[in-house]
């Protein structure tokens, strides 16, 4: 069913072309209660004053399927449709009381109503922006992001979804992301020593320092070790389908390992 607006007592189908609302000669004759052919004659008499692409469009018959969705048949010879400016120029000589009423209603209730709907939609989108932002923050935390990285990543996600950046709306163009320390596996830490130490040896030292504890074959961070280590997904899975995690250690832990070995 086509969208309609009521002009006086007439239900007028909404017709759009190239993002603009347009009217046909038949629509003008109908709402102005003029004899059929009146609008076309006015157009032919004054066509030299109108600009194609601005005041009117010529619709080729190849677009008949597009206009059929608006309930309009495009004849083989083509169809003329008028924009708001074209309509006002065409009907400027209509000076009866009905014409004044119809012109006001067409401008406010037909041509300009599209902008009103667009503004309402934009306000609704902005109203929902907070909800989208909260969901993206929750998602960033679920992926293990920390500090300002949570909000920077969430802001990028919100902008991709809605086209709006919450940080820009708040007047904050950027947040300072904390400097990330380089991380190393126990094996990599062991290779920094002369002579080199094995990963097993480094794991034992880290456990002796109280930074990790072993449950079965898995090393787990202790509360004390949370300041120095992070769990990373290796991309592999155990036989039961559980992702394989690996502890990696911040560069700052190396001084404590060296102190424990010395």
Task: List pLDDT tens digits, range 5-54.
Answer: 666 667 777 788 887 888 888 888 888 888 999 889 989 988 898 999 98
> What is the number of helices (H) and of strands (E) in the chain?
12, 11
In a shared domain, residues 38 and 61: yes
pLDDT at 179: 54
Give exposure, 57-96, as e/b (b: 16+ Cβ within 10 Å).
bebeeeebeebeebebebeeeebbbbbbebbebbbeebee
In a shared domain, residues 135 and 237: no
Residue 27: inside a domain, yes or no? yes
Other Cβ atoms within 10 Å of 38 Cβ, number:
17
Position 1 confidence tier, pLDDT thresholds 50, 70, 90: very low
pLDDT at 13: 76
pLDDT at 16: 82
pLDDT of 112 > 50? The answer is yes
In a shared domain, residues 140 and 113: no
Other Cβ atoms within 10 Å of 172 Cβ, number:
12
Q: Which domain holds residue 81?
A: 4-118
Residue 222: inside a domain, yes or no? yes
Residue 123: inside a domain, yes or no? no
In a shared domain, residues 113 and 133: no
pLDDT at 175: 63
Counting the structural domains of the chain, the total is 3
Residue 178: inside a domain, yes or no? no
In a shared domain, residues 145 and 100: no
* Rounded CA separation 228/230 (Å): 7
Q: What is the pTM of this model?
A: 0.39
Give tens-digit pLDDT for 137-192. Answer: 998 888 877 777 788 888 888 888 877 888 888 887 656 545 567 889 999 999 99
> Count of alpha carbons within 13 Å of 142, Cβ hemisphere only?
7
pLDDT at 117: 45
In a shared domain, residues 10 and 44: yes
- Better-predicted residue by pLDDT, 251 or 238: 251
- Better-predicted residue by pLDDT, 62 or 245: 62
Give tens-digit pLDDT for 189-245. Answer: 999 999 999 999 999 999 999 999 998 888 888 989 888 988 776 667 767 766 677
pLDDT at 185: 93
Both tokens of 220, joined, read 């787990």
pLDDT at 116: 46
In a shared domain, residues 139 and 195: no
Residue 91: inside a domain, yes or no? yes
Cβ atoms 255, 228 nearer than 8 A? no
Residue 176: inside a domain, yes or no? no
Residue 177: inside a domain, yes or no? no
Ramachandran bin of 135, using left for φ above 0, alpha for ψ from -120 to 50, beta for the remaining angles: alpha
Of the three residues 110, 142, 170, the one that is the final residue of a domain is 170
Residue 162: inside a domain, yes or no? yes
The end-to-end CA distance of the chain, in Å, is 83
Q: What share of the chain is helix, strand, coil (3-state, %, to 5)?
A: 50, 20, 30
């Amino acid at each position: 069913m086509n969208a309609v607006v009521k002009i006086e007592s007439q239900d007028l189908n909404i017709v759009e072309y190239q993002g603009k609302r347009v009217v046909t000669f038949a629509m003008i004759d109908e709402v102005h209660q003029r004899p059929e052919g009146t609008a076309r004659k006015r157009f032919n008499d004054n066509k030299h004053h109108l600009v194609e692409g601005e005041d009117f469009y010529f619709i080729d018959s190849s677009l008949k399927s597009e206009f059929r969705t608006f309930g309009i048949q495009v004849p083989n010879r083509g169809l003329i449709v008028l924009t708001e400016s074209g309509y006002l120029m065409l009907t400027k000589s209509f000076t009866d009381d009905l014409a004044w009423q119809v012109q006001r209603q067409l401008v406010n209730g037909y041509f300009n109503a599209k902008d009103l709907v667009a503004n309402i939609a934009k306000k609704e989108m902005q109203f929902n922006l907070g909800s989208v932002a909260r969901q993206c923050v929750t998602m960033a935390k679920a992926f293990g992001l920390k500090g300002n990285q949570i909000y920077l990543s969430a802001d990028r996600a919100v902008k991709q979804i809605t086209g709006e950046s919450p940080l820009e709306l708040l007047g904050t163009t950027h947040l300072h992301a904390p400097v990330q320390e380089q991380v190393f596996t126990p094996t990599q830490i062991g290779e920094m020593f002369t002579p080199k130490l094995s990963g097993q040896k480094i794991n034992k030292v880290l456990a002796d320092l109280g930074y990790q504890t072993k449950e079965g074959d898995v090393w787990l961070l202790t509360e004390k070790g949370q300041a120095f280590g992070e769990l990373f997904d290796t991309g592999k899975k155990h036989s039961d389908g559980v992702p394989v995690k690996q502890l990696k250690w911040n560069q700052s832990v190396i001084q404590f390992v060296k102190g424990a070995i010395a």
